[in-house]
Chains A and B, each alone.
Chain A
Amino acid sequence: NAGVTQTPKFQVLKTGQSMTLQCAQDMNHEYMSWYRQDPGMGLRLIHYSVGAGITDQGEVPNGYNVSRSTTEDFPLRLLSAAPSQTSVYFCASSYIGRGREKLFFGSGTQLSVL
């Protein structure tokens, strides 16, 4: 019953450093996505994927890269961290067809960029 697994749970970076947030799901979901959550702004979509090899930009993609080489994994890369990227990051997955109204979320990554 793992569901969506995100690592790490907490991370502190210095400005300019790069890192990868990991996300894995074991429900065979076609759709995977990354959101950031900031106070008063809700969840904003960064990037999403509808299957292996297929990714697209969401609402706030700048400064982030993604790839989807397998159905299970969808890592998010911060290329050169900036203080504006301090946020809580959530990975989420769902089916594309029937059941697409239900997103399954990971437990989140709290990222601080100094």
Chain B
Amino acid sequence: QKEVEQDPGPLSVPEGAIVSLNCTYSNSAFQYFMWYRQYSRKGPELLMYTYSSGNKEDGRFTAQVDKSSKYISLFIRDSQPSDSATYLCATLGSGGFKTIFGAGTRLFVKA
């Protein structure tokens, strides 16, 4: 079993839609949860991170962690064509500094 599972998609939505991206993880000891965004032919960039459970909001983006079900979510409100990218969920693994990534979900937002 992979430590972080993520559906690779692709996911295609119309402009303005609410997007929900999800991951599950296997180890209940994980505490840091991150979302990276990767545009085509670029390196990933950190979008948001949360520590332990709860929600974190940044503009149109909300990250949510449910530790009871080992579920990580990213919500994008009022999606824009510029949001078209691959979104990778991640967590800090054993030792607290190795980042473990999900497969990434490719998102297309159509104008």
Instruction: Name A's B-contacting residues (CB within 8 A).
Output: 4, 31, 33, 35, 40-45, 48, 50, 58, 90, 92, 94, 96, 100-103, 105-108
Instruction: Please measure, in the bound complex, the distance between the C-alpha atom of A4 and the C-alpha atom of B42, giving whole angstroms.
Output: 12
Q: Establish whether residues B49 and A106, one from each chain, have CB atoms under 8 Å apart when the complex forms.
A: no
Q: Establish whether residues A42 and B45, one from each chain, have CB atoms under 8 Å apart when the complex forms.
A: no
Instruction: Please measure, in the bound complex, the distance between the C-alpha atom of A4 and the C-alpha atom of B6, giving whole angstroms.
Output: 27
> What's the minimum C-beta distance from A98 to chain B, rounded to whole angstroms?
12
> What's the minimum C-beta distance from B103 to chain A, rounded to whole angstroms?
4
Q: Establish whether residues B42 and A40, one from each chain, have CB atoms under 8 Å apart when the complex forms.
A: no
Question: Is B88 in the interface zone, CB < 8 Å from A?
Answer: yes
Tally A-B pairs: CB < 8 A. 59
Give the interface SS of chain A, mostly helix, strand, loop or mixed: strand
Within 8 Å by CB of B6, from A42, A92, A105, lies A42
Subset of 20 A-B contacts with CB under 8 Å: A40-B103, A42-B101, A42-B104, A43-B44, A43-B101, A44-B101, A45-B100, A90-B44, A94-B97, A100-B32, A101-B32, A101-B34, A101-B46, A102-B46, A105-B44, A105-B45, A106-B43, A107-B42, A108-B41, A108-B42
Q: Establish whether residues A103 and B99, one from each chain, have CB atoms under 8 Å apart when the complex forms.
A: yes
> What's the minimum C-beta distance from B104 to chain A, rounded to whole angstroms?
5
Instruction: Please measure, in the bound complex, the distance between the C-alpha atom of A31 and the C-alpha atom of B95, giving whole angstroms.
Output: 12
Instruction: Name B's A-contacting residues (CB within 8 A).
Output: 4, 6, 8, 32, 34, 36, 41-46, 49, 51, 88, 92, 96-104
Chain A residues closer than 8 Å to B96, beta-carbon distance: 100
> What's the minimum C-beta distance from A23 to chain B, rounded to whole angstroms?
11
Q: Establish whether residues A31 and B97, one from each chain, have CB atoms under 8 Å apart when the complex forms.
A: yes
Q: Establish whether residues B34 and A42, one from each chain, have CB atoms under 8 Å apart when the complex forms.
A: no
Instruction: Please measure, in the bound complex, the distance between the C-alpha atom of A22 and the C-alpha atom of B3, giving whole angstroms.
Output: 29
Q: Establish whether residues B92 and A100, one from each chain, have CB atoms under 8 Å apart when the complex forms.
A: yes
> What's the minimum C-beta distance from B15 to chain A, rounded to whole angstroms?
26
